[in-house]
Chains A and B, each alone.
Chain A
Amino acid sequence: MNMWRRIRAMGLWHELVLAGLLAGLLAGAWYFEQTRGAEFVSWETQTALSSHMWEMALLSVPLTLIIISGGIDLSVGAIMSLSAVTMGLAWQAGMGVWPAVGLTLAAGLTAGAMNGTFVVFLGVHPLIVTLGTMSAYRGIAEGLIGAEPVSQFPAGFLAMSEPLVAGLPPAGILFVVLAIAAGVLLGRTAAGRELRAIGYNETTARFSGVAVARTKLLLYTASGLVSAVAAVLFVARRDTAKADVGAGLELTAITAVVLGGTSIFGGRGRIGGTVLGVLLLHEVRSLVAWRWNRDELTFIIVGAMLILSVLVHSVLTRRKS
């Protein structure tokens, strides 16, 4: 009981529940494969099944920081689309592939900075700003590229999707690095504390001398840049650049972040939770797809998990008034 209280005091119960669910899931899968002779719980299967999860995982890191600061970014999928189209058109126009990557990153950075500018200097609610820019960015991407996807990128560029270390592709390694960096930023630095302060109470934070405008601008710009990186990695993995890249990914990434215990109202949240949220989301999806070959069940499970995780939390933390 004492230990339970300490865990609750540290606020780690959410991570524990997620880790427990993840362990239970893998244990169940392992038990099943004893009778069937197939291997789900192995590093080879796991890395093979994970190739398509890294883009969503990357998006979830800056998104966690944004949600902790009390904001939201619905446009990350659309920025991926705009970036992928930039990449495709630049390559098609005869630009070298690496300069094209640079231009793509610049496009994502600009799109993110635009979001930040709207949020900061116009004081419009980020949900509305990014709902608008979501349509605008994906619309521009659709308008620019039309119906014809661009493909046949050079082999040196496509090699970016090959496994690099321990079966992980560069995207996976980048996610690990990014998650650790964001975790340190959030848990160990003054900037991280300021971020939480903005999420808890923006006015108080401003009067306490926190550079609210600069922090927000940086957050949305970083989110745009990471979305562009995810787009480049997507294009390298699939050898195709088109306007529907990243469609719906914003909602999946937000699901992972919230599943990880970050409060949608800001102030409370951890990168560790997001990492577990991403893994759990991915494991449920791949297990159901791998074992039953039925993708539709995962939608039900993920939706129910999202609502239940917050419901259980609200029931457990309800103050007796």
Chain B
Amino acid sequence: MSPRSVLSRLAGREAGVAALWLATVAAVGMVNPDFLRAANLHAIFVKCAPVVIVACGVTLVIVTGEIDISVGSLMGLLAVAGGIVTSPDRMGLSPQAGAAAVLAAGAGIGLLTGLLVTLGRVPSIIVTLGMLTALRGLTRVLMGGRWIESIPPSLRVLSIGSTLGVRNCLWVAMAVLALTVVLAHLTPLGRRIYAVGSSPRAAALAGLSSRRIKVFAFAFTGFLTGVATLAGQLEVGTIEPDIGQGFELLVVTCVVVGGTSIRGGVGTVIGSALAAILMMTIGTALVFLKLGASASYWERAIQGAFILLAVLTDQLSRRRGTGEDTL
């Protein structure tokens, strides 16, 4: 795909999501100008960072026509693994060893998922549903009924530190996003990911190995989950048992709102990132609207409304455009 067609793609759903976000920010800013302060917007972006990082991988998985709903449990497991390796109460190894363990375990479990889907021919929703459950159990077993405490700050530097006044997790998220955009739109591998997703049969006839491409997408997602764990989940030095719970559905939601088709072949990581920013803005916006303490309880309802709205507009525009009535 040429850079120009990347731009023309961005004109669709991505522009819509960006416009909706700008409208939300402007509307809340008019009611409460404090919302527009740089520190507040910065805080919102910090909340987005882990979602954006993982969504980059999950977008590619969904574009290949598969799905991954295990990233929340995987994130919990990786945080605990990193904590166990480095915490002086447990193994007490160096932070480099901890970071390596987190990234390797993430990529390894992603690889296993990919192999079960391709070689084992188990549908990805089943494999990752099983992983969602099993990894959560494994996390609890590893924790052994205690919280993990006193994780060294050197392992948490991506989560807590700042560079040039911007939190490190944002730099990481931007780097991952840029890397994935290049990978998806400017490399042969990226073209193959879209080819396998949009027409598996044509891709196979063209000599593409859908297996290898799918295994890559799952392993990449696992690796990015490790990156997101280091960059987003270690703000405090303790880890609770239910860390990462519900994260998987949030990520899938952002990917779908961002315009990726669940049937594969269509969607961009930019769209997913914009949708993640939109979704994570809503919670903070409700606080700044000062509608009273009970207003923040409506966060999830508004998120759900945005999902349905995104699906609706997509469906209506598609119907008008091509007469097709399927996603």
Interface-centre pick from A118, A300, A307 (highest chain B CB count, 10 A): A307
**A/B interface sample: 19 pairs, CB < 8 A:** A124-B327, A128-B256, A129-B308, A131-B307, A132-B307, A142-B301, A251-B132, A255-B130, A258-B129, A296-B137, A299-B140, A300-B137, A300-B141, A303-B135, A303-B136, A306-B133, A310-B122, A314-B120, A318-B121
Q: Which of A139, A146, A264 contacts B303 (CB 8 A)?
A: A139
Distance, CA A304 to CA B123, complexed state (A):
14
Q: Which of B131, B263, B297, B299 contacts A303 (CB 8 A)?
A: B131
Residues of A within 8 A of B297 (CB): 142-143, 145-147
A125 interface contact, C-beta 8 A? yes
Chain B, range 217-272, C-beta contacts under 8 Å to A: 249, 252-253, 256, 262-263
Task: Encode B307-327 as 1/0 by CB contact (under 8 A) with A.
Answer: 110011001000000000111
Verify B299–A297 contact, CB threshold 8 A. no
Task: Encode A60-90 as 1/0 by CB contact (under 8 A) with B.
Answer: 0000000000000000000000000000000
Distance, CA A251 to CA B137, complexed state (A):
15
Task: Encode A98-135 as 1/0 by CB contact (under 8 A) with B.
Answer: 00000000000000000000100011110111011111
Q: How large is the interface on B (under 10, 10 to 19, 20 to 34, 35 or more residues)?
A: 35 or more
- Shortest CB distance A131–B (Å): 6
Chain A residues with CB under 8 Å of chain B are: 118, 122-125, 127-129, 131-140, 142-143, 145-147, 251, 254-255, 258, 264-265, 295-304, 306-307, 310-311, 314-315, 318
Verify A129–B129 contact, CB threshold 8 A. no
- Shortest CB distance A295–B (Å): 8
Verify A135–B253 contact, CB threshold 8 A. yes
Distance, CA A300 to CA B133, complexed state (A):
7
Verify B122–A135 contact, CB threshold 8 A. no
Verify A146–B140 contact, CB threshold 8 A. no
Given A132-B307, A255-B129, A297:B302 Cβ within 8 A = no
Residues of A within 8 A of B135 (CB): 303
B126 interface contact, C-beta 8 A? yes
B298 interface contact, C-beta 8 A? yes
Distance, CA A122 to CA B116, complexed state (A):
34
Given A135-B301, A136-B304, A306:B262 Cβ within 8 A = no
Distance, CA A306 to CA B69, complexed state (A):
14
B104 interface contact, C-beta 8 A? no
B294 interface contact, C-beta 8 A? yes
Interface-centre pick from A132, A264, A295 (highest chain B CB count, 10 A): A132
- Shortest CB distance A33–B (Å): 25
B56 interface contact, C-beta 8 A? no
Verify A310–B311 contact, CB threshold 8 A. no
- Shortest CB distance B27–A (Å): 19
Distance, CA A299 to CA B132, complexed state (A):
9
B81 interface contact, C-beta 8 A? no
Residues of B within 8 A of A140 (CB): 301, 304
B127 interface contact, C-beta 8 A? yes
Verify B294–A146 contact, CB threshold 8 A. yes
Distance, CA A122 to CA B304, complexed state (A):
17
- Shortest CB distance B43–A (Å): 22
Distance, CA A133 to CA B304, complexed state (A):
6
Given A251-B133, A310-B123, A131:B298 Cβ within 8 A = no
